């Protein structure tokens, strides 16, 4: 049975799913550190293009092995191109943003994505937001305000531009999600949707490479390893594991772990890169994490009387 036709009912969250989600959210939190390390050796846009291209080849190979239909006419071409262009712009901003700001601040900014999805779904998909979700939105943006008001964790004034780039990347990430949810992509295999994003983003970002300056900076084994870890492990492997988990376990249960990504991002930046932290960063982290929990909390089902 292929990934596209697997319709087994999801099983309850068990110990394996908990361990897997801890590993995935830690990996996604670590990704900001890997971007920083890779940027030290290479042009940021070149890194983004190379990462997407290599990961696309790996995901394509996976699809061929699993027999996942990629070239069937299913109405996903134009939504796939739009999603890929948004994905490309998002990661150009992330790679540039992390050149300027810290991993901790950037991680908090980019993980506001679910709140932009909440707003976009209300504006464009007609989805209603519960009082709990609105409360989560308010908490999260109170956290964002705390990050911008903090000067102790600011490496230099240019970091504010990096923070804004990361926040804009979160908006684009949310827009990508809305395009997927509002088009035929929602019915396509997740691997095909990811392949659209990777392949198109590599192409659309290619002309932007000169904006990143010299192709090579201080090339080192660490920079090369960080690049390969992103392309092979973060993008190709962890995303495919995520898709498998989404098919095997309840989405609402898995979504409740998303608050851990900014937690691990802040901690990885501090422990691995020695980034300065302040009480405002920890307070912002608490607010954004609480907001994520509220936004991802499943709605209560009303029992018939």
pLDDT digits (tens, 9 = 90+) for 135-194: 999 999 999 999 999 988 888 888 999 999 999 999 999 999 999 999 999 999 999 999
Task: Name the nearest CA neighbour of 105 among 55, 56, 155, 57.
Answer: 155
Across the range 218-231, mean pLDDT stands at: 97
Domain boundaries, the chain: 15-296
pLDDT of residue 110 exceeding 90, the answer is yes
Across the range 12-23, mean pLDDT stands at: 90
3-state secondary structure of 133: helix
pLDDT of residue 3 exceeding 50, the answer is no
What angle separates helix 260-273 from helix 279-296, to the nearest 10 degrees?
150
Across the range 119-125, mean pLDDT stands at: 92
3-state secondary structure of 171: helix
| For the chain, percent of residues with pLDDT exceeding 90 | 78
> What is the distance between the alpha carbons of residues 94 and 100, in angstroms, rounded to a whole number?
10
Strand partners, 42: 216
Return the pLDDT at 155.
Answer: 85
Q: Who has greater pLDDT, 3 or 46?
A: 46
Across the range 196-201, mean pLDDT stands at: 97
The pTM of the full predicted model, rounded to 2 decimals, is 0.90
Least confident piece of the model among 143-152, 274-283, 294-303: 294-303
pLDDT of residue 4 exceeding 60, the answer is no
Return the pLDDT at 6.
Answer: 43
Across the range 247-272, mean pLDDT stands at: 89
Distance of CA 176 to the CA centre of its chain: 11
| For the chain, percent of residues with pLDDT exceeding 70 | 94
Return the pLDDT at 208.
Answer: 96
Return the pLDDT at 13.
Answer: 82
pLDDT of residue 112 exceeding 70, the answer is yes
Is residue 258 within 8 Å of residue 292, measured between CB atoms? Answer: yes
The pLDDT mean for the chain works out to 91
């Amino acid at each position: 049975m292929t990934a596209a036709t697997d319709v087994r009912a999801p099983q309850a969250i068990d110990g394996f799913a908990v361990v897997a989600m801890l590993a995935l959210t830690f990996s996604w939190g670590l990704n900001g550190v890997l971007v920083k390390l890779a940027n030290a050796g290479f042009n940021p846009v070149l890194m983004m293009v190379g990462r997407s291209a290599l990961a696309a080849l790996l995901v394509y190979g996976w699809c061929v092995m699993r027999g996942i239909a990629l070239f069937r006419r299913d109405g996903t071409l134009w939504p796939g191109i739009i999603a890929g262009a948004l994905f490309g712009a998002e990661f150009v901003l992330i790679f540039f943003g992390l050149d300027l700001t810290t991993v901790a601040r950037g991680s908090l900014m980019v993980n506001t994505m679910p709140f932009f999805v909440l707003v976009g779904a209300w504006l464009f998909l007609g989805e209603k937001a519960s009082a709990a979700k609105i409360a989560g939105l308010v908490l999260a943006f109170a956290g964002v305000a705390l990050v911008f008001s903090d000067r102790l964790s600011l490496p230099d004034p240019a970091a504010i531009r990096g923070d804004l780039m990361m926040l804009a990347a979160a908006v684009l990430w949310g827009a990508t999600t809305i395009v997927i949810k509002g088009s035929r992509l929602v019915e396509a295999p997740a691997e095909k949707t990811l392949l659209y994003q990777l392949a198109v983003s590599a192409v659309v970002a290619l002309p932007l490479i000169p904006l990143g300056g010299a192709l090579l900076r201080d090339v080192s084994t660490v920079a090369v390893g960080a690049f390969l870890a992103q392309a092979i492990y973060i993008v190709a492997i962890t995303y495919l594991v995520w898709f498998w988990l989404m098919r095997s376990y309840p989405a609402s249960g898995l979504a409740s772990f998303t608050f851990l990504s900014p937690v691990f991002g802040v901690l990885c930046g501090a422990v691995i890169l020695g980034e300065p932290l302040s009480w405002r960063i920890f307070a912002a982290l608490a607010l954004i994490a609480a907001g994520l929990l509220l936004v991802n909390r499943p709605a209560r089902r009303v029992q018939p009387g």
